[in-house]
A and B are shown apart, each in its own frame.
Chain A
Amino acid sequence: MASPLILLPGDEVPSEYLPSSNSAPLRLGAGLRLLSQPSAISPSHVISATQPGLLSTDNKRNAVSILSTPNRRYVPTPGDLVIAQIHHSSPDYFHCMITPQAPQALLGQLSFEGATKKTRPMLKQGDLVYARVLSTGLGAGAEVELTCVNPATGRADGGLGPLTGGMVFDVSTGLAARLIKASSSSGEQQDGVAGLVVLDELGKKLEKAGGFEIAVGRNGKVWVDCANGGDYAVKATVAIGRCLSTIDEHELSSTDQRKLVTRILRDMKIES
């Protein structure tokens, strides 16, 4: 692995950084484009960056992309898991807020697991749902549509549906993406996936207090619930939220994350 490469718009990607396997065609991800260099003798192609960021390569998929600044505003893309809040309800749709500054997204009244006209969930204003972005439409003023079931199977895969109880914390979209990555790949690594050990550590420490449930939305929202916590439920929820927002603000190494968890749990007087 060569040293990490940071590119600015207009920089060319050196060929030694590209994945070397020649069998599959190279996939270009976000922030890169292919330019042809007109030359009289041999016209050649260069891959140049359009966004500033860290070059990331995936040898398995033969893909290369640019990781850009992590604190961006959330822009919905089909397939993303988000935590949305119901704004109001109309005969066919729930109108949901994904981010406060974006136009409202639509969630069908019947796009829940096993929902029919008679058994659909009655969601009120302010209720939370864990949903997947179904489509974003084309062009300006297009409506974003959400769904709480997998349209192919009719099942709510991955805990989609209304979120009851608990509390939502705001984090940056970058940290949300890291949390999703860390929770989706459950490999036992010493340093954790994507540099995050905080959830594993909290899980270990809070086991005695009843454990916790967590849902991470790409739109920078984290829902935490400690329903089994008994007396500690509120304290533990707040402690988890504090851990996440501190990690969001300061870049912490895995040892520092462990120390932070211990300190916050002690400050909140939660036995572990």
Chain B
Amino acid sequence: MVGPTASLTPLSRADGSASYQCPSTGSNILGSVNAPIELPGRRDALKPEDATVEVFVKPGTAPGGVGERYVEGIIKNMLGKLILGREKGYARRGVVITLAIVGGESVARGDSYLTLLPALLHTSLLALLSASVPLSMTYSATVLAVDASGEITREPSVKEAAAAVSLHVFAFSSNGHLLLNESEGPFDFETWEKVHQRALAICHGTVARSSDGDVAMAEDVDGQPLEGALREAMEEKIQQDYSWKIDAA
């Protein structure tokens, strides 16, 4: 299994940005984050001590529609809980995340948007990290399709997803807790449990927790766990930026 490719800070004018390509679904997302910024008008009346998170998803070729609004809502809800909006300088200001779908098979009207959701989530995480927005934790996400015979496909393409009986998106925090669970189509508890186990293995590897709480990341059929791949991308960028300091030490 080939891991995703990510690059950080490809855009020079945004506060933080990331591009992310998922090899199996073929989706290619470019994300930018601007934070903290002054929002026009007063949108802070409800939560004066917190930052406002706004998410925009732009399809590459078509004007945005219902599907985009739907995933925007999911991403916004999840990130709103992770972003520490009460940190210094963030209260009553905005964190604006813009995600552009620049490549891959486009989702036709009425198709499920869940296939794109993990890539959108990963892009927004990397862009938030590159903008140094305070977060309580990191996460990784994956999408799984279950077909009529009960077989699980990891990160299905649009065609595979259309043929599947049910689709499941899971996001796990860096501690291994379930953060997001979106499902579509008919399924039973037993299937969900199976899919959940598989998703956890994809994001965190076959978990081998040692006594001191360290999580050993093992490689298996799913290749490198996603959590590790994202961490590596970020660490590489910091290594590069601070090579003058790291080399001197």
Stretch at the interface among A49-57, A79-87, A159-167: A49-57
Chain B: minimal CB distance from A18 (Å): 16
Q: Which of B92, B136, B137 contacts A140 (CB 8 A)?
A: B92
Q: Which of A89-142 contact B (CB under 8 A)?
A: 103, 139-141
Tell me whether B31 is interfacial, beta carbon within 8 Å.
no
By a CB distance below 8 angstroms, the chain B residues around A141 are: 38
Stretch at the interface among B55-63, B110-118, B239-247: B239-247
Q: Is the CB of B15 within 8 A of A139?
A: no
Chain A: minimal CB distance from B46 (Å): 15
Q: How many Å lie between the Cα of A68 and that of B84 in the bound state?
A: 16
Tell me whether B87 is interfacial, beta carbon within 8 Å.
yes
Question: Could you tell me how many residues of chain A have their Cβ less than 8 Å away from some Cβ of chain B?
Answer: 35
Q: Which of A1, A8, A178, A194 contacts B231 (CB 8 A)?
A: A8
By a CB distance below 8 angstroms, the chain A residues around B237 are: 69
| Residue from B134, B238, B245 with most neighbouring chain A CB atoms (10 Å) | B238
Tell me whether A268 is interfacial, beta carbon within 8 Å.
no
A6-B87 CB under 8 A given contacts A50-B136, A51-B132, A139-B92:
no
Q: Is the CB of B135 within 8 A of A50?
A: yes
Tell me whether A70 is interfacial, beta carbon within 8 Å.
yes
Q: How many Å lie between the Cα of A195 and that of B249 in the bound state?
A: 11
Q: Which of B196-249 contact A (CB under 8 A)?
A: 231, 234-235, 237-249
Q: How many Å lie between the Cα of A57 and that of B135 in the bound state?
A: 21
Q: Is the CB of A69 within 8 A of B238?
A: yes
In the complex, besides A4-B246, A54-B242, A141-B38, 8 extra interface pairs with C-beta distance below 8 angstroms are A6-B238, A31-B134, A51-B132, A52-B238, A69-B132, A72-B15, A140-B38, A140-B92
Give the B-binding residues of A (Cβ under 8 A).
Answer: 1, 3-4, 6, 8-11, 31, 50-54, 56, 67-73, 75, 103, 139-141, 174, 178, 191, 194-196, 251, 253
* Cross-chain pairs A/B with CB under 8 angstroms, 19 sampled: A4-B245, A8-B138, A8-B234, A10-B136, A50-B87, A53-B132, A53-B238, A67-B245, A69-B9, A69-B237, A69-B238, A70-B241, A71-B9, A75-B36, A139-B91, A178-B244, A191-B248, A194-B244, A253-B244
